[in-house]
A and B are shown apart, each in its own frame.
Chain A
Amino acid sequence: EPEVTQTPSHQVTQMGQEVILRCVPISNHLYFYWYRQILGQKVEFLVSFYNNEISEKSEIFDDQFSVERPDGSNFTLKIRSTKLEDSAMYFCASSEVQDRWSPLHFGNGTRLTVT
């Protein structure tokens, strides 16, 4: 069964550094998402992406964050200047179509640790 893949599984970075988290969505999916989960807290929506542009973003997704689909397969989340509070598990998800009941397919996540 096709899966969403994320790399790396764990990223450690110093405060102020830029990080890029990578995702390969399922190949025939059209809608892409980033979520994050700070340890012990809920899974929070960051951004959705469709047709090469952001569809919706949360208040968390400020100017420090950006997303890109640089080629036909990758979907990246960039954090420009990381802060300690960016430490979290970041999940990429994709869905095939945007009908009401189309499920999200999640990757395994990237654990980002900012020191």
Chain B
Amino acid sequence: KAGVTQTPRYLIKTRGQQVTLSCSPISGHRSVSWYQQTPGQGLQFLFEYFSETQRNKGNFPGRFSGRQFSNSRSEMNVSTLELGDSALYLCASSLARGHGTEAFFGQGTRLTVV
């Protein structure tokens, strides 16, 4: 079956703009989590969506937001982009929430803010 699909793969934006990234989870998976990966900070948890509701949120400013649709596809949005938002944004899907649930990652979207 198809894996986790993230679009676009690469994106270049200017400071102050906003951006929307998309993630299609593995078919049947209902939990989608987003992570930011940078060389300096490693993999940092952004938020998790399950059944169209945000269930958990990491320590990021309100400029970072997301949503999940009824088909489990998820989008994340970053408004008023800053140079420091340049990163690889990864989406992971899981069958369910909670302990013992394996997370599968997409290839990521490489965002560059100039």
- A, B bound: no
Interface residues of B (CB under 8 A from A): none
